[in-house]
Structure 1
Amino acid sequence: MLSLLSAYRVEFRLAVVLLVICIFLAVFTDTFLTLGNVTSLLNNNAVNLIWAVGLLVVLIAGGIDISFAVAASVVQYLSAQVFGWMGGGGWAVGLIVAGLFGISLGFLNAALIHGFRVVSIVITIATFNVFFGLLMFFTRGRNIYNLPDWWVDRIFIFEHQSTNGTWSELNLSVAVMLVCVASTVILIKHTTLGRQLYAFGDNPEGARRAGVNIWTMHLVAYGWCGLMAGIGGLMQVNIAKEVVPNALYGRELEVLAAVVLGGARLGGGKGTVVGAVLGVLFVAITQNGLNLLGVSPFAFQMIIGATILVAISTSNISWDLRNMRTSQ
């Protein structure tokens, strides 16, 4: 038990903080613990959770991707064109098409990072701007409303009507999110590639000398993040019922803050799916709580900025302490 707490101490502390926040909001608001609010939280943050597990894999490998949210917007637009050309499609085809587009954009990031030997944040900031610029140029900022019925039809995996007549439901995006989370757990915890990703992120040179293929690590990490970006973009359209070119712009920092808050180290080699999920829940519940308490939404942006700052600071401190112990 003690060894388990030691291995997941960041996640445990975050879970305790989340519990305290939930108790506080349950006491001081009337709607926080209602079934309607809980299901709404899950529906509204399912896409962020999909992106979070994709970004987690990149962070474990020692990289960072700033472009995934804009890449998801590009996937939405390209998928809409393909579905229009096909005359429809379906969810199976849609997931394949969006996934392939997302993986392609992820592979582009991997190729640029590996080929130019440039720090990943520089490359992904560049592709972020390229993706967004091209998207706005070709769409002229116009929304797409004429979409296949299967893509915009509401599909529920859970429905409940309370005694006062209000409905609570979980939509398809929650089910897809659960599959993405489970798939990421399998990748990083139960495959050789996952163990190599941790080793590569922790000590790239040591991993290379041990026979880990660096190019493969980049492809897996950024390809997985691209896959999650594509799937998340597909599900966002099902929620919004339209393709909005700039709707996802800015969501990347919110997801990044959640993942690093959940214990993923920006230097690589550390991070868990449990921590990423708890981080997203922390950000979502904090935002929801501030809204219920009538606090200005600008306070949420301050919290996100402070979260990233604290995560970077503590990550560097823990890394330095570890190196000191190793050298001794």
Structure 2
Amino acid sequence: MKLFSTPPLSQFQTPSPRKAQAMATAPQTTEPQLPNLTKPRVTAFNRLAKAGRWRVEAMRALSEPCLLWFTRGQGRVTLGGVTRGYGPNNLIFIPPGVMHSYELGSQPQGQVVFFGRDTEIELPHAAHHLRVRDAVAQGEIGSILEAVSREIDSDRPAADRALHHQLGLVSVWLERQIASNETAAIKPSAARRLVSRYSALVERDFRAHTGVAELAGELGVTVTHLTRACRESCGKGASEMLQERRLYEARELLRDTRIPVKDIAARLGYTSPAYFTRAFHAKTGKTPVDFRRNG
């Protein structure tokens, strides 16, 4: 079993006074306040794929922690700006606010656990990618996740309390696996550390009128150097990462809210609705209006 972790968000730079003022005056948006986002859920990967692969394959961050448990299939996962391969019996933990994306093969098998906003379960502050080779550990996490699913669907007395304790067992299992593999942790290269910091800034500022040049300046590097590091680390340029994050948010807002297209464009930092429409069409093959109507 190997472990990869990204630095916790608390280690990244905070906005300068000028940046903070710009963010305060810029149009703001938040994830749609959908009721099911506040409660724990367990979803099979094949169901996620049917709901739209863009929901998992586009760079984005969530407002709740989640855990991915792959039992079959393989692909690539980008976590905090670093891309690695995954295979069967891989577990990936993603804290809220960490940019990520992952591929789903033709027949993905496994589960994703969403812990819900403001969960009281004690979970890691950093992202982790575990390759679980021990058969006993594989059986343990499989059984716990099965119990979590049962309690979510249960109408028996004390189901909420039972669910809380089952999710606590997930936390304990994860903590033990991380602790037992501290010596196997992979030290990220300078490029990966830079891209991890950049991805955190993207998540912080993607709603503001902020470009790659400004973010590169905050990191103390040139745009060229940052772009080279991004391509080396995750196969995407710095501008592409920022654009993809904005367009993921746009699709969420188009699908899950009735906010007018022109307001979505303004909230995500586009200079005009026309420019937003061109960028959205280039990425998705649809206009924002068509995507809202037909998905």
Q: TM-score, normalised by structure 1?
A: 0.28
Q: Which has the higher strand share?
A: 2
Q: Which has the higher contact order (CA 8 A, sep 6+)?
A: 1
Structure number with the higher helix fraction is 1
TM (normalized to structure 2)? Answer: 0.30
